[in-house]
Amino acid sequence: MIIKKGYVVTMDEDMRVYRDGAVVFRGDRIVDVGKTEDIMRKHSDDEVIDAKGKMVLPGFVNTHNHLYQTIMRGLSDDGEGMRPEGYRWDIDLLRGLDRDACYASGAMSMVEMIRSGITCTQDSHYINFHRDSINGIAESARDVGLRLVLGRGSWDLQGLAPEELTEDIDTAIKESRNVSKRWHNGDMTKVIYEASLLSQVSDELILETKRAAQEDELGWGMHIQGPLASHKNDPRTGDKSLRRYGGRAMEYLNSLNVLGPNSLLIHCTFTTNREIPILAQTGTPVAHCPCANAWAGRSIVTPVPSMLDMGVTVGLGTDGAMTNNSLDMFHAMNFAALINKVNYGTTKAMTAEKVLNMSTRLAAKALCLDDKVGSLETGKKADIVLVDMKAPGMAPTILPIKNLVYSATSSCVDIVIINGKTVMEGRELRTLDKEKIIEEAEKQTWRLVEGSGHMDRYPDFLKRGKMSYMN
Task: Look up the domain containing 341 and give its range.
Answer: 61-366
pLDDT of amino acid 300: 60
Residue ending a domain, choose from 340, 366, 392: 366
- Residue 403: its pLDDT value, please? 97
Residues 186-200, mean pLDDT to the nearest whole number: 91
Taking a C-beta distance cutoff of 8 angstroms, is the pair 285, 312 a contact?
Answer: yes
Q: For residue 272, what are the contacts with CB-CB under 8 A and spacing of at least 6? A: 248
Q: What is the CATH number of the domain that holds 216?
A: 3.20.20.140
Q: Specify the length of the chain in residues.
A: 471
Is the CB of residue 326 less than 8 Å from the CB of residue 115? no
Beta strands in 74-173 (DSSP E): 118-125, 147-154
333 and 307: one domain? yes
Q: What is the pLDDT of residue 375?
A: 98
Specify whether 358 is located in the same domain as 408: no
pLDDT more than 90, % of the chain: 73
CATH number, domain of 411, equals 2.30.40.10
Of 223, 372, 218, which Cα lies nearest the Cα of 288?
Answer: 223
Strand 421-425 relative to strand 413-418, pairing? antiparallel
What average pLDDT does range 452-462 have in this prediction?
A: 68
Cα separations in angstroms, 89 against 86, 92, 311, 340, 361: 9, 8, 37, 29, 34
Q: Does residue 161 surpass a pLDDT of 70?
A: no
Q: Is 123 left (phi over 0), alpha (psi -120 to 50) or beta?
A: beta
The pLDDT of residue 365 is: 98
Contact in structure between 360 and 60 (CB atoms under 8 Å): yes
Least confident range from 79-88, 241-250, 280-289: namely 79-88
Are residue 339 and residue 412 in the same domain, yes or no?
A: no
Q: How many CB atoms lie within 10 A of CB 52?
A: 12
Between 233 and 9, whose confidence is greater? 9
Whether 389 and 351 map to the same domain: the answer is no
DSSP reduced 3-state for 208? helix
Most confident of 141-150, 158-167, 450-459: 141-150
Q: Is residue 6 part of a domain?
A: yes
Average pLDDT, the chain: 89
173 and 135 in a single domain? The answer is: yes
Out of 95-104, 155-164, 187-196, least confident range: 155-164
In angstroms, the CA 92 to CA 307 distance is 39
User: What is the average per-residue pLDDT within 19-29?
Assistant: 97
User: Degrees (nearest 5) of the Cα angle 88, 90, 92?
Assistant: 150
Based on the structure, what is the number of domains in the chain? 2
CA 77 to chain centre: 20
Q: At residue 438, does pLDDT exceed 90?
A: yes
pLDDT of residue 65: 97
Q: For residue 229, name the pLDDT band (cuts at 50, 70, 90).
A: very low
Same domain, 119 and 150: yes
pLDDT > 90? residue 78? no
Give the number of C-alpha atoms closer than 13 A to the C-alpha of residue 208, restricted to the C-beta side: 19
Is 114 within 8 Å of 416 (Cβ atoms)? Answer: yes
User: For residue 41, is pLDDT > 70?
Assistant: yes
Same domain, residue pair 25 and 170: no
161 in a domain, yes or no?
yes
Q: Is the pLDDT of residue 86 over 70?
A: no
Residue 267 predicted with pLDDT over 60: yes
100, 194: one domain:
yes
For residues 318 and 85, the model is more confident at 318
Examine the pLDDT at 470 and tell me if it is beyond 50.
Answer: no
394 band by pLDDT with thresholds 50, 70 and 90: very high
If asked whether residues 152 and 106 sit together in one domain, one would say yes
Mean pLDDT calculated for residue range 403-426:
97
Instruction: Pick the closest to residue 161 from 104, 106, 201 (CA basis).
Output: 201
